[in-house]
Amino acid sequence: MNDRVYPKLKPYIVGPLGRCPRCGEGRLFCGFLTLRPSCEVCGLDFSYADPADGPAFFASMFFCLPSISFAVWLELAFQPPYWVHAITTLPLMLATVIPPLRPLKGWLVASQFYHKAAEGRLVREGEVADPRTW
């Protein structure tokens, strides 16, 4: 049992760096986007983490959207052949959407830990739901 008291680390600091949200020392990832089962330093179990499609959504909306705008502008302004899009737009889209995925996932996982996010429950264990209180 780990009885050590840890300071509350800011998710926007430890998350993008891929560090453990509890101790800030252990690594969060064992691959590009694969979370470790637990922190090798403090033992925090990462099974609570479920950022779902959040990283892909944020990367698509905030990073890939400008490259899509470029592709549309290029097509409307010059109507280039498809190979021009293949050598300009495709690499630009990949370069803008893939690199932010890992920092965004780390930030979302660290935010879940920081805010003690959990699955929503209408009734606590052992209680009986009363529809009149809804």
Only one residue has tokens 């890992």, namely 102
Predicted local confidence at residue 32, as pLDDT: 95
Contact 61, 104 (CB under 8 A): no
Q: Is residue 129 part of a domain?
A: no
pLDDT band at 4 (very low <50, low <70, confident <90, very high): confident
Q: Is residue 55 part of a domain?
A: yes
pTM: 0.83
Predicted local confidence at residue 34, as pLDDT: 95
pLDDT in tens, 95-112: 999 999 999 999 999 999
Which of 18, 30, 26 lies closest to 43, judged by CA? 26
Q: Which of 20-24, 68-72, 84-88, 117-121 has the lowest mean pLDDT?
A: 117-121
Q: Is residue 72 part of a domain?
A: yes
Q: Is residue 42 part of a domain?
A: yes
Q: Is residue 73 part of a domain?
A: yes
- Integer angstrom CA distances of residue 71 from 21, 61, 100, 123: 38, 15, 20, 50
Predicted local confidence at residue 126, as pLDDT: 73
Judged against a pLDDT cut of 70, whether residue 2 lies above it is answered with no
Q: Is residue 77 part of a domain?
A: yes
The percentage of residues in the chain with a pLDDT greater than 90, rounded to a whole number, is 75
Question: How many separate domains does the chain show?
Answer: 1
Q: Is residue 127 part of a domain?
A: no
pLDDT in tens, 50-78: 999 999 999 999 988 889 999 999 999 99
Q: Is residue 104 part of a domain?
A: yes
Give the structural domain span for 88. 11-117
